[in-house]
Amino acid sequence: MPSNLTNIWLLAGATGSNVSVSYLQFSPSMFWLAAGAMLCLVELFVPTAFTTFMMGLSALIVALVAMLLPSLIGVQVALWMALSVTFVFLSHRLMPKRKVSTIEDATEGQTLTEILPGQLGRVLYEGSSWRARCGDEKLAIAPNQKVYVVGREGTTLIVLPENLLHT
C-alpha cells in the first residue's frame, strides 16, 4: 500500500461472528479538501467572525499543495497552521470596527411607566422604548415626565427627572 495514502477504516457490518471490514483510501489532498469544505460549512451554521472560514480556506490551499507534495504531511500541517493564523489575523484586522454608540450628556426623554426607587421602568428616548432607572436610587419618577438621559449601562438608560436638574 502506498505510504502517501491515509486509510480510513469503516466497519461495514457485524452480524454474529461475520464481521466485514472495508476501507476507503483518501489521499492527503482529498483529506484537506474535505476538511476545508467542512470548516467553511461550519461558518454558515456557527458564526465565528470568519475564523473557521479562514481555517477552511487555508485547508483548501493546502489541498492544492498536497497534490504537488503528497508525502510531506508534516509540511502540510505546518503550512495549514501558518496560513490559518495569518488569514485569521488579517481578516480580523481588516474588518471594519463597530462603533460603540454613546449617549450625549443630558439628552431628553419621557417616562412611559413609573420608575420606582431602585427599580426599572420604561422611557421613550429617540422614538424607542428603553429600560431605564433613576440615577438617584432614592427618587421615584412618575409616568409621562420629562427626564434627561445622563448615562447608559448596557441597554438600560440612567435618567434624572427634569425638576432635579433645573432647581
Q: What local confidence, expressed as pLDDT, does residue 154 receive?
A: 85
Task: Examine residue 16 and state whether it is found in any structural domain, yes or no.
Answer: no
Please indicate, yes or no, whether the overall pTM of this predicted structure exceeds 0.85. Answer: no
- The residue out of 63, 94, 125 marking a domain boundary is 94
Q: What local confidence, expressed as pLDDT, does residue 48 receive?
A: 77
Q: What local confidence, expressed as pLDDT, does residue 23 receive?
A: 59
Residue with cell 480556506: 57
Task: Examine residue 119 and state whether it is found in any structural domain, yes or no.
Answer: yes
Q: Judge if 131 and 79 occupy the same domain.
A: no
Task: Examine residue 125 and state whether it is found in any structural domain, yes or no.
Answer: yes
Looking at residue 148, which CATH number applies to its domain?
2.40.50.140
Task: Examine residue 145 and state whether it is found in any structural domain, yes or no.
Answer: yes
Q: What local confidence, expressed as pLDDT, does residue 8 receive?
A: 45
Distance CA 9, CA 142 (A): 72
Q: Judge if 83 and 115 occupy the same domain.
A: no
Distance CA 3, CA 40 (A): 29
Q: What local confidence, expressed as pLDDT, does residue 49 receive?
A: 76
What total of structural domains would you count in the chain?
2
Q: What local confidence, expressed as pLDDT, does residue 76 receive?
A: 92
Which parts of the chain have pLDDT scores under 70?
1-24, 97-106, 165-167
Q: What local confidence, expressed as pLDDT, does residue 37 receive?
A: 94
Distance CA 21, CA 14 (A): 9
Distance CA 106, CA 112 (A): 18
Residue-range definition of the domain harbouring residue 124: 107-165
Task: Kindly list the distances between the CA atom of residue 14 and the CA atoms of 19, 25, 27, 155, in Å, as whole numbers in the listed order.
Answer: 5, 21, 27, 58
Task: Examine residue 137 and state whether it is found in any structural domain, yes or no.
Answer: yes
Q: What local confidence, expressed as pLDDT, does residue 44 receive?
A: 86
Distance CA 74, CA 65 (A): 12
Q: Judge if 124 and 161 occupy the same domain.
A: yes
Q: Judge if 127 and 87 occupy the same domain.
A: no
Written in H, E and C, the secondary structure of 13-74 is EEECCEEEEEEEEECHHHHHHHHHHHHHHHHHHCCCCCHHHHHHHHHHHHHHHHHHCCCCHH
Q: Kind and range of the H or E element at 153?
A: strand 146-153
Q: What local confidence, expressed as pLDDT, does residue 81 receive?
A: 96
Task: Examine residue 35 and state whether it is found in any structural domain, yes or no.
Answer: yes
Task: Give residue-wise pLDDT tens across range 138-165.
Answer: 888 999 999 988 888 888 999 988 887 6
Q: Judge if 41 and 77 occupy the same domain.
A: yes
Residue type, 122: R
